Structure 1
Amino acid sequence: MNFRMMTILRELMAARSPLTSDYLANINQVTSRTTREDVKLLDAVLSKNGAGVESIRGTGYKLVIDDDQNFRKYLQDVLQEEAEYETSIPSLPEERTAYLIKRLLLAEGYLKLDDLADEMHISKSTIQNDLKNAKKILNNYDITLEGRPNYGLKATGSEVKLRFCMAEYIFDRSEEVGESLLNSQLSSLAKEDLSSIWKIIMNQIKENGITLSDIAINNLFIHIAIAYQRIKNGYHVSLYNKELDDILDKKEFEVARKIVERVEGRLNVTFPQTEIAYIAIHLLGTKMINQTSVEIEQVVEDDVYQVVMTALDRIENKLRLGIKQDQELIISLGLHLKPAINRYKYGMNIRNPMLEDIKTSYPLAFEAGIIAGLALEDHTGAKIDENEIGYLALHIGAAIERQKIKTGPKRCLVVCASGMGSARLLFYKLKSQFGEKLNVVDTTEYYKLNAASFHNIDFVVSSIPIQEELPVPVIVVNTILGDADLKKIEGFVIDNKQSIYDYFRKEQMFLNQNFETKEEVLEFLADKLAERGLVEETFLEAVYEREAVAPTAFGNLVAVPHPITPQSNQTFLAFCTLRKPVLWGEKRVQFVCLLSVEKNSTADLQSMYDLLGTVIDDASLVQKLLKVQSYEEFIDLLVQ
């Protein structure tokens, strides 16, 4: 079975609905005709091993399993074959790029381009293209490729950055904690030595009452294994004296020293003091939480709390998610950011094996994570990468889900200037008008407002203007409520979601376009929107600014570009489908949905975000949308 057939099998196994030959062709970067031949061959192989590929007319291909036991046994053989194939000859451009990075990072000296091309069974021109991609990635770690005539290329950069890049590219991010190193042929450590390191780490963090996530433990484990290999080869990290002094008196340094002492005893190698300091940085800022219910002040220091609230303010201003007062979110973000801020201080990165899944499954939370990341950049002065944004998005995603399942009536506080009599009149009028949909928690006079609690209050109804800034919206009404007053309140009481189809306009849909690059697509859409007076000159620049933070391609051939801050006077979507995919960051994209949210919008856009999430996640739907020829067909598919 060749590599393309393996890829097709993997896609069919993961798919929830049939996949078209076009989709599979795009994944393998071949023609539909070649894909049909590959599927035919795959079906012939599978038919001897308890399965087959069924072709459903007008829909696509589907995996059918007749003998589960026989098929499982065959899969084990395939996975072994795939692993051997992947370690020898990478096939797709991104795989070749990753392979080049691995080779350059692990090489003791220079590597010749001709030798690498022969090794990978590709032409000189192909490897030069792959090398451009490799250079871009290495540049993110401040690693450059030094060329020397007749010798070749060599990766050069600070020891710390070289190690970070190794942690990212030499060890598989998708494997379980510790597994990638235990199974890696690149490690010169025996399996029992690695198991010992793992036990040493676990014992020490347990003995010293340090709480680390699985990912943080995995990072520490990989860090120590790489440090061992690099120290053995004569490479050491360095720290400024002041930074070193800051760490030496921390409790975490003592824990790191104990871990290192035991590792040294096991591996017969000496770790310099600076290496111990870097291990301590992995532990800095962690905190043990014993209580099931805690006050924010107990677990989140004031400076971190301020960063969290700034980030949540920005998220609320731009996305209107209604999660700013979520106490669980404030605590979880605070606990995450304390060690994160320490890592940035010392220039350390963190690996996130769930990153692609987070981007695909929680695009809205990831977008909120980017806004939080930019607030964090302002605070730390350090560039926040996608891995970190992914972790922020997980916390925010949990808060979005909590918000969705909140039930019960809206809660309001009534404020009146003309005495409790008129306040009670307002109270009873609201109760009779909205019944169980609205819970009037309390009534108060204006002068007592500063003593009122706004915990669990959704909005304030007041018969006089309130100058003070309150943490919730204020609706100013007449003491004797009229129809206009009731309508204003109704907007807050009843979730008034706009129909998603209000955002799908025929004049903002551009089907079967022919472009070569991401830039061509974005410029085309920006020009069309400007012609309609929907956007201004700064729009495209704001879209590129957002792309610079993290490409908006979410996999499944879909990208959802948008400006980094709201730029338009109304919320709208614009769609563009392409005849062939273009490269968007490191992913191929054929379905582009440009999103623009109204400046200072208070509308509930959750239904729109939910639909976009559904499209991003459904490969079969995307393939059908790519084939439609008219606006009417497009809408019919979405309605179905």
Structure 2
Amino acid sequence: MKPKEKELLSLLYQNQNRFLTGRELAQALHISERTVRSYIRRMEPVITENGGEILAKQGNGYRLLLRRPVQFAVLAGTPGTETTRKTAQTPDSAQERRRYLMQRLLLNGETLQAEETAERLYVSTSTLKKELYQLRGMLDEYGLVFDSSPAGISIHGDETSKRALIMDYFFRSSTFNSIQEYMDHSGYFDDIPTEQLLRMVLDESRQFGIRLSDIMVQNVLLHLALSVKRMQAGLRPEHAVLPPAFEQSSEYQASSAIFRRLSGMTGGEYPAEEVSYLALHLSGKGSWATRQPAQGEHLEQEVKTVLSQLAEDDVMQLDEDPQLVSSLLEHLRPMVVRLMRGLPQKNPLTQDILRDQPDLMKVIRKYFGAMPSLRRYDIDDDEWAYLALHVMAALERQKEKRKLQVLVVCATGYGSSQLLKSRLMKHFSDSLHIVTETGYYEMSDDILQGIDLIISSVNIGPVIFGVPFIHVSVFLGEEDVQNIQRFIDQEKAGPEKKEPAAARPASKSQKEIFDCYFSEEDFRVYKGHPERDQVLSDLVETLACYEKDSFADHMREQIRLRSQMGSLVFSDTIAVPHPAVPLSKVARLALALIPEGMYWNESHPAIRFVFLMSPSYVENRNLPKVTGAIVSLMEEPVLQEQILQEQSFDVFGRILGSLIETA
């Protein structure tokens, strides 16, 4: 589970004796009610598997019911119990799993056994195959392929192409997602060619068989950039006393090769001490380190304790940043080794950081200085300034998360999505954070988690429900820029306060929009508890009378495809099935009312509204306004009850019509 999902579970677990409304949960977690519903849908299978059940009662909210309390206590993390299944580092979403696979297969050049990898990720082999299939399109653009053999799964292709994809996927994929991005924007490294240094690190580490995580690569990049800054400032590191035979290690050879290339690029000779220090840094995760006694086995817990204390003291809220934990650990491991050997390292940025961030330096000294692994040493500001750089990068990432979280969707592949992303950042870097880029058919509930806006060069608005969407050209024209800015301005202004919809009748323009998409012939009321497939079939046949003979079969298949991409249920009572691609010449909606509730699946046993939406392949001018009204209806249980009690098309039209935004 993600950190916010764990907080949500904890709230429900601590309040088992009562219902908590969606609004209460949203306010406690600082998220939207829509996100609360999304998290609960995502968590329900895990909760059920571990002996729990979430009761959802309209008007009351959510309550946790425990059928096997002892088993569930393990999932909830009750003191005195432990879970031995997943660790905090286990990839938890499809996006995280794909990054994990790319890191091992591409960055580390490993060959993976399918069953063993699936077990490590806590997924089925079929899910693993699906993740690999989603990555195949990206490999194609670089002339790379997956190679399956008795030895396992690997990536096959030209080494130059592999390195190009490594650069694009790991180090250019999202703003301020890495130390490199922070370095490029901080002002401290403006004269450092970080892109060239990064290529050196990747080339030589792969050449000498050193497996580095993407975060470790970033830390080595920072170390190398600081070496250049030391050279510029005329600073020379302390003489390093190396372990026996260390100069024959692959880490020392890789470090030597990197500095030979760096000397050729900058025209200056770097002292042997720089080679030694970089080699020691590489050894923090390289092969030589595995042959040495383990150091700092409690270091990770100490770092987490520091970050928790900072959050508890309301100094900075960085305790849910796993990237910061990893980044600090990758720096602290070799740092502790250096301190043990009496090898302090000069920092060319210390005075700049002391000048620009004096309060942060005080915080670093106070909190990190209390770590058991560090407090035995006399540590100077040069060392504290290194840690400060990692914290400053994390604070910048935190700023990014306060921006609108955007998913970029393109039809023609990874390259075009990168082009669109770069144009978006040129205009909106202060307002938007690009979470990731994807193709339309790669979209899923996982990838939509936490997304505030979809910006797409594919017109997917009619078939993506529940997340705001803006259709743009991949070249991002002036009209596109204006539309995006209008959305940003509206989000900053916040929602307008409106009188309850039931208190005002639908206006003439609202009624005109409603009548374009709904008719009484497409309105059905069901008694009892009908079967889901029967209701869907009835609604499809209802809309088929407006279309060609083959429409019904195509619609059923497209609904099936769309359901594979993500849930078609968007609240406890409302489902909105729709096709993966538009099929109708004229857009229409059909509605089924089921007052007594219909079983959709285990997570949604009492659906009472089914809106079958059939977008047009020609024009859907006002359809987003109608879908917006359906979203508003989800937040109005009183209005839902009025419609269900009256079971009248006229009442439904008056209520839904009044929710249509015409401005």
When the two structures are superposed, what TM-score results if normalisation uses the length of structure 2? 0.38
When the two structures are superposed, what TM-score results if normalisation uses the length of structure 1? 0.40
